[in-house]
Structure 1
Amino acid sequence: MAVNVAARSPRATAGGPPLRRLGHLLVRRRRLVLALAALVLVVAGTLAAGTVSRLSLARFEAPGSESDRAQAELVRRFATGSPDLVFLATVRSGAVTSGTVDDPAAEAAGRELTARIGRAEGVAEASSYWTRGRPATLRSADGRHALVVVRVPGDADHVRTRVLPGLVPRIVGEQGPFQVRAGGGEEVFRETVPLARQDFVRAELVIFPLAFVLLWLYQRRAMAALVPILAGVLAMVVGLALLRGVLPFTGISTFALNLTLAMGLGLGIDYCLFVVQRFREEVRAGRDRAAAVAGAVEHAGRTVLFSGLTVAASLAVLFALPFDFLRSFAYAGIAVVAGGLFSAVIVLPAVLAVAGGTMVPRRQRPERHTGFWHGLATRVMRRPLVSGGLAAALLLVLASPFLGLRFGTADDRILPPEASSRQTQEVIRRAFPAEETDAIQIISKGATPGDVPAYAVRLSRVPGVAQVDSAVGSYAAGRRVGDGDPARFRGEGAWLSVVPSAEALAGDPVRLVAAVRAVPPPFEVLVGGYPAELADYRASVVDRLPLVLALMLGVTFAVLFLMTRSLVLPLKATLLNVLSLGVMFGAVVWIFQEGHLSGLLGFTPTGTLDPSIPILMLCVAYGLSMDYEVFLLSRIKEEYDRTGDTARAVATGLQRGAPLITAAGGILALTFAAYATARVVFVQMLGVGMAVAVLVDATVIRAVLVPSLMRLAGPLNWWPRGRATTSPR
């Protein structure tokens, strides 16, 4: 009873650590806090709705790269650019006499179709098989298909939301003797965004009831299951509202919405579980509700704050990349972490002060200092080398596919087979000898017409090059195969269009770009075009990977040092989290690059991985892994401060923390796993990879490797801090 009386006294509520004082303040002002939370929800909801409509689309571009400068020169000096939209015109059965695109009636209709597309609003230029002098690169081998290539200038938002929605529906379908379909990079990614958004919404509709059921099974109280879900919703809404404040200064990719939805619910549930669990422990220890809330804020609140700081720091390293697409995820992640902290540290304590009784089990059981997790930790620490060695060996085997990682570029195969733009691209890959729409563009200022033929001949001999077009002629396999097109290539200097074969572009376009750049030019050149843009983007991302890793490891090390005052524990956490990431990437390579489980998950493997999503997964997974590391270390450190016994602290900390970590990790893993049903491969990859990382981290690493390594380190765990015991309250 003395504890309860002290908790009610003015002196007790006024003193103590800052977070305990905050807890008492939230209890005293609970109705005001809840009223302000309701107001924040309304205001944030209004702002969040406006945020969604203002999110922008982005391209895989590397600003300032050679391909970026080549594109600018192509527009400035030749008033043209790489085509970004293609229409596939297929002769309908019986529509023309010969049944091919060379039929006079088909040619007349094709010219009229090309002209109509060229006159459409937003279109800068359009050309086709019929208007370019019937090049073989724009005609299928069987003669049934021909291409109309279109350039639509402007940023991704302008092209995909303003021009294409009005243009594509007017052209697709029956057009005279043709059946017309749309494809090209811009159309592919225009279809990707709504499909990805539908995937996330559909998954969330499954996740919410599933999370409620799992939380109820763990908490055994309906209110204790409902409140964490509501906290996740609040985290999402506040996160989107905070993004609204960033939008005037920078563009935020629409894919950031997907990350906000995925992380908001997961972090909201995790953080609330930490606080509610501590509140229950305080109540079980005999403290009244006000003291229990204050204790929960003091201990669990501190853990949540450090955890949020760690996750935010992990995502903040994306600011080191000069790509708006990836930076968008940094903004979104930090914003949703802020929303999760607001929900768990400010709003939840007020809810507990009002309705905490509904979150406590009806029949209180005494706290067990020993149990399954305590026994497991004790057995592991008896033979730490054997237990830790076997666990590490298992994880290294699971991570081994990562050694075969091959970075590539995304194409239409990120979409499901029924997507119309993918079907168009499949026909082009199968029926056309070359990829005219994805030509590599070579621009030069100081070239003379006499310099071009020999250079074009050398370029045409590069494996994977189907044809090289220029003002002085077309070349294939080292010989001239057609006349030049001075009207098309008119401008200041020389411009060559290097058309890749369909096989080369479907295989490794980056290697093809490198081979083209390796051909010695007789004059200074810039190499651009869509394949070069992808190659430069990939190179820019991969080149900065060491910097991203160094920043992420350094920042999170510093955060853990601030929490533990130890240099050894952050080092151990870093090594274990790197191992967890290795398993995640091993699974991603094995499944999505090598194609295992492709039939089950319904995707088409390409043999490579685009680097953008793995980098995002790296930062998110590392932050979430540190989330559980922070929680477990806080429980172990608290016990060590009380007893000074490392082995006892580990076993007791695991007994108190592992059940919650396992439950939270299981719920979060199922949340991510729901995205495995997505139709866009990027979303599937994110869901499956994150689910694997969370499960491995919450089970094998926390239950086996943490106690084994801490047992091996012994007193060194706390170096240079040493022992600092405190008396129990």
Structure 2
Amino acid sequence: MFYRLGKFATRHRWLIIGMWVLAAVLALPFAPRAGQVLQSGGFESPDSESQRAIDLLTQKLHVSDNIVQILFTSKRYSVVDPQFSQEVQQALTHLRTWPEVAGVASFLDNPRQISEDRHAAYVNLQMKGDANTAAKLLPDFEKRLQKVPDLQVSVGGGPVFYNDIQVVSENDLRRAEILAFPFAIIALLFMFRSVVAAVLPALVGGFAVVVSLALIFGLGHLTPLSVFVLNITTLFGLGLGVDYSLFMVSRFREEIARGRNIEEAVSITVATAGRAVAFSGLTVTIGLFGLTFFHINMLHSVGLGGILVVILAVTAALTLLPALLGLLGLRVNAFPVRIPRLGRHGFVFNAHAVEGEIDPHHGFWYRLSHFVMRYPLWVFFPVLILLISFGIPFLSVRFSAPDASILPAYVPSRSAYDLLTQRFNQRETTPILIAAQTRGNVLTPENIQNLYYYVKRIKADPHVERVDSIVSADPRFSLAQYQLLYAHPQLITDPYLSAFLKSSVSRNTLLIEVISKYGMVDPQSQVLVQTIRNTDPGHGISVLVDGGTAGNIDYVSSLYSDFPLAILIVSLTTYIVLLLLFRSLLLPLKAIVMNTLSILASYGALVLIFQDGFLHQWLNFTPLGFVEASSPILLFCTIFGLSMDYEVFLLSRIQEGFWQTGDNRQAVALGLQRSGGIITSAAVIVIVVSACFATADMILVKAVGVGMVLAVVIDATLVRGLLVPATMRLLGSWNWWLPFIGIQRRPPALAEYSEPVGIVTMTTATNETDMQVGGKL
């Protein structure tokens, strides 16, 4: 099938190129606008208890986390000075009357919104609509917020956070694209030593990215998509598009170096490297498909966007690239580049476009594989122990949901977050919220009694600093006084208590705020939340718990309750695909284990770098003290497919060697020699592209970029160069065993274009007419 596809692409090359050019032209107006349809949130699970709690409070009490916080600070004035309050009122003049503002909660109404040094205070403005809608209104918000002479004003909160995520993500993407394209071209020039050959992979990757972004623009109108789709789409589009093209172009040059005519060379390229590309793309797609099982929209949408770009990258590699190769022919080696290399007598220059099948007895990878296979146990166990040790730091991982700390310090929401953390009591700003529902009206004497004793039980917990509720508003009041007070709520004269009652009670629904003695992400606060959830209020009272700590617990729980299923489905499906590709029972299992080792090593790096702060000065970020909970999942689903990419190409060449020789040991040496340099080159491309994304200011994107760089480095060196030949040697002929069939030999379909074993070289002179092409030996 792939051989015939190569024939078709060569014979109808103008039609295929024309269709891709038309697709790119149609996509160009929409691709730059993809970010306009993407959303910044998507970190909540709709089925979690915390989300159900906030939905209930929003419906009944109009409580919302769609809050813009305005922080006012002054070195000159204290909050109690009249000038401070006057300037705050002046700043808010046009915001109080703005129809988009649903309510204002000032520090004048709540003294707990005043800093401990009493030189800062904040005002909460509840916005209408959701956070993404409010984020779009921020330009108007800033125009209405008047400047005042003596106060410094900082703006934060959910809508600002989401807007900053959008802005920073787009800036990160532009920076990565500006860096990735030229560096990828330079790396390809070093690999191919030909301008035309180097441009082809970048061209195919660019086509895949442009069309993908246009399709994402359309998909974003049909379903909510996270803004992180942009970064992942570009990362995979460039990385895989260039990778796949690199394998295809390299194989094509090998075939023309053997004296094939252009049509035959393209057909064999598609039938061999193209077949591996198709199965590799399928394994990467399977890895990304695992993300669609999560209820968290950010992961779900990244999975959809990733699948889309991988499909397009594979399609471009199997259609557009063969058509271009058929059109270029020997001109693929045109415009050779003279690159210095280190020889015996110093640096020398050459313009070799390619070395095809070099003498296997003199190749580095051939010699390395034979050395490893001579001492397989001495190589296998030390490397295995080393990789496991890389992953050991992951045992001390601490997970948390993303907050403003994942953003760079210069954006507004991060500045406001840092100010709030430094000047205010964080425990006061991140309370535990309990949405309680009673039988009948909350204010009946019976319900007041039941709630009074329930709150008293919560206050008795040693983790609790304070409980704010209508039955604990004044510690001097007894139960009887509360019952008497709420028997006629319209007669309450105290303005604070009247406002508190109005904001926290609506018929049968009550809001209770619990202040922990510990910080939001402290394990002791998590224990408190679990204790409240496990405590039965009794008397027909039902409770749902929300707040920062509860949201973190539910976020992590939602992710890692779905993660085992995703791992199982991804691993099982990948195993079946590789079983069909390699016709072996053991090779797919070995490939999955090898990938797992690379992933575990990157997991350990996540903890060392982003939780503990190792190398944070070089990577330009502030250590989080935790690992953002979605990062390991993103890395698993991306690295699993990407590492399997190299495994597929390596084992495909080893399989071809086994079909030729029937000797497992010789097949491993030949396969590693034929693919080792190309896989290393492909790994360099992915490392370059991933490193460009590791420069991101957004820590979530930076973590994925750094994790991919480390995983690919480990995968392309320790795993492919040492572990794979060692395990292949230990398994011997069992590598190729399939029940009921036995040891697999050469399939008849490949007999017509099997490779000769010998020396084939091709050199390219300084002009096209002087090309010399070596034939079969």
TM over 0.5: yes
1:543 positional shift: 1.3
1:470 positional shift: 1.9
Aligned to 2:757: none
The counterpart of 2:572, out of the listed 545, 554, 557, is: 554
Aligned to 2:192: 219
The counterpart of 2:254, out of the listed 281, 284, 308, is: 281
Counterpart-to-counterpart distance in 1, 2:365 and 2:745: 25
Q: Does 1:391 align with 2:365?
A: no
Counterpart-to-counterpart distance in 2, 1:432 and 1:518: 30
SS in 1 for 2:358: coil
Task: Spell out, residue by residue over 1:580-628, the C-alpha distance to the aligned partner (whole angstroms, 9 max, x if none).
Answer: 1001111111111111111222222232112123211110010000000
Amino acid at match of 2:155: A
Instruction: Check whether the contact 1:566–1:719 (CA below 8 A) recurs between aligned residues.
Output: yes
1:138 positional shift: 1.1
Counterpart-to-counterpart distance in 1, 2:305 and 2:477: 51
Counterpart-to-counterpart distance in 2, 1:679 and 1:247: 24
Q: 1:54 to 1:530 in 2, by over 3 A?
A: same
Aligned to 2:651: 633
Counterpart-to-counterpart distance in 2, 1:165 and 1:22: 53
Counterpart-to-counterpart distance in 2, 1:365 and 1:179: 65
Instruction: Check whether the contact 2:44–2:297 (CA below 8 A) recurs between aligned residues.
Output: no
**Alignment gaps of 5+ in structure 2:** 337-350, 480-493, 754-777
Aligned to 1:33: 16
Instruction: Check whether the contact 1:467–1:476 (CA below 8 A) recurs between aligned residues.
Output: no
The counterpart of 2:240, out of the listed 262, 267, 270, is: 267
Task: Spell out, residue by residue over 1:523-544, the C-alpha distance to the aligned partner (whole angstroms, 9 max, x if none).
Answer: 3211123442332122111111
Aligned to 2:126: 151
1:532-547 to structure 2, matched below 5 A, reads 532-547=550-565
1:728 positional shift: 5.9
Aligned to 1:201: 174
The counterpart of 2:25, out of the listed 25, 42, 53, is: 42
Aligned to 1:723: 744
1:248 positional shift: 4.1
Instruction: Check whether the contact 1:464–1:504 (CA below 8 A) recurs between aligned residues.
Output: no
Q: 1:49 to 1:423 in 2, by over 3 A?
A: closer
SS in 2 for 1:504: coil
Task: Spell out, residue by residue over 1:255-275, the C-alpha distance to the aligned partner (whole angstroms, 9 max, x if none).
Answer: 101111111111111000111
Q: 1:52 to 1:188 in 2, by over 3 A?
A: closer
Amino acid at match of 1:165: P
Q: 1:267 to 1:365 in 2, by over 3 A?
A: closer
SS in 1 for 2:108: coil
Counterpart-to-counterpart distance in 2, 1:506 and 1:549: 27
Moved more, 75-84 or 542-551: 75-84
Counterpart-to-counterpart distance in 2, 1:399 and 1:170: 51
The counterpart of 2:207, out of the listed 234, 240, 258, is: 234
Moved more, 400-409 or 185-194: 185-194
Aligned to 1:697: 715
Task: Spell out, residue by residue over 1:93-135, the C-alpha distance to the aligned partner (whole angstroms, 9 max, x if none).
Answer: 2xxxxx3212344345545656753432322222111134x3x
Instruction: Check whether the contact 1:462–1:516 (CA below 8 A) recurs between aligned residues.
Output: no
Aligned to 2:79: 101
- State the number of aligned residues: 701
Task: Spell out, residue by residue over 1:454-484, the C-alpha distance to the aligned partner (whole angstroms, 9 max, x if none).
Answer: 433443455665432222443799999x974
Instruction: Check whether the contact 2:455–2:471 (CA below 8 A) recurs between aligned residues.
Output: no
Aligned to 1:521: 537
Q: Does 1:336 align with 2:314?
A: no
SS in 2 for 1:86: strand
The counterpart of 1:595, out of the listed 610, 613, 621, is: 613
Instruction: Check whether the contact 1:402–1:589 (CA below 8 A) recurs between aligned residues.
Output: yes
1:92 positional shift: 5.4
Instruction: Check whether the contact 1:429–1:502 (CA below 8 A) recurs between aligned residues.
Output: no
Aligned to 2:151: 178
Amino acid at match of 1:300: A
Q: Does 1:368 align with 2:383?
A: no
Counterpart-to-counterpart distance in 2, 1:476 and 1:605: 41
The counterpart of 2:420, out of the listed 410, 419, 428, is: 428
The counterpart of 2:513, out of the listed 498, 501, 517, is: 498
Identity of aligned residues (%): 36
Instruction: Check whether the contact 2:400–2:629 (CA below 8 A) recurs between aligned residues.
Output: yes
Counterpart-to-counterpart distance in 1, 2:357 and 2:164: 54
1:511 positional shift: 4.6
Aligned to 2:468: 469
1:480-499 to structure 2, matched below 5 A, reads 484=497, 485-498=500-513
Q: 1:112 to 1:458 in 2, by over 3 A?
A: farther
Counterpart-to-counterpart distance in 2, 1:366 and 1:227: 19
The counterpart of 1:247, out of the listed 203, 209, 220, is: 220
Instruction: Check whether the contact 2:391–2:604 (CA below 8 A) recurs between aligned residues.
Output: yes
Aligned to 2:409: 417
The counterpart of 1:127, out of the listed 97, 100, 105, is: 105
SS in 2 for 1:505: coil
Aligned to 1:297: 270
Aligned to 1:650: 668
Counterpart-to-counterpart distance in 2, 1:646 and 1:139: 74
Instruction: Check whether the contact 1:240–1:335 (CA below 8 A) recurs between aligned residues.
Output: no
Instruction: Check whether the contact 1:221–1:358 (CA below 8 A) recurs between aligned residues.
Output: no
Q: 1:475 to 1:499 in 2, by over 3 A?
A: farther
Moved more, 509-518 or 257-266: 509-518
Q: 1:226 to 1:464 in 2, by over 3 A?
A: farther
Q: Does 1:323 align with 2:323?
A: no
Counterpart-to-counterpart distance in 1, 2:569 and 2:476: 48
1:436 positional shift: 4.5
Aligned to 2:163: 190
SS in 1 for 2:165: helix
Moved more, 417-426 or 466-475: 466-475
Instruction: Check whether the contact 1:440–1:530 (CA below 8 A) recurs between aligned residues.
Output: yes
1:6-17 to structure 2, matched below 5 A, reads none
Q: 1:712 to 1:63 in 2, by over 3 A?
A: same
Amino acid at match of 1:528: D
Give the TM-score normalised by the residue count of structure 2: 0.85
Counterpart-to-counterpart distance in 2, 1:468 and 1:112: 34
**Alignment gaps of 5+ in structure 1:** 1-17, 94-98
Counterpart-to-counterpart distance in 2, 1:259 and 1:144: 43
Q: 1:409 to 1:563 in 2, by over 3 A?
A: same
Counterpart-to-counterpart distance in 1, 2:368 and 2:449: 79
Amino acid at match of 1:407: F
Aligned to 2:339: none
Amino acid at match of 2:600: G
SS in 2 for 1:60: coil
Aligned to 1:400: 392
Q: Does 1:167 align with 2:141?
A: yes
Q: 1:175 to 1:357 in 2, by over 3 A?
A: same
Counterpart-to-counterpart distance in 2, 1:416 and 1:35: 44
SS in 2 for 1:322: coil
Amino acid at match of 1:268: G
Counterpart-to-counterpart distance in 1, 2:278 and 2:51: 42
Amino acid at match of 2:454: Y
Counterpart-to-counterpart distance in 2, 1:189 and 1:580: 33
Counterpart-to-counterpart distance in 1, 2:682 and 2:300: 28
Counterpart-to-counterpart distance in 2, 1:558 and 1:169: 59
1:669 positional shift: 0.8
Aligned to 2:2: 19
Moved more, 123-132 or 618-627: 123-132
Task: Spell out, residue by residue over 1:471-516, the C-alpha distance to the aligned partner (whole angstroms, 9 max, x if none).
Answer: 2443799999x97422322312352342546951254564553344
Aligned to 2:767: none
Counterpart-to-counterpart distance in 2, 1:586 and 1:607: 14
Q: 1:177 to 1:436 in 2, by over 3 A?
A: farther
Moved more, 447-456 or 590-599: 447-456
Give the TM-score normalised by the residue count of structure 1: 0.91
Instruction: Check whether the contact 1:640–1:646 (CA below 8 A) recurs between aligned residues.
Output: yes
Instruction: Check whether the contact 1:434–1:499 (CA below 8 A) recurs between aligned residues.
Output: no
SS in 2 for 1:268: helix
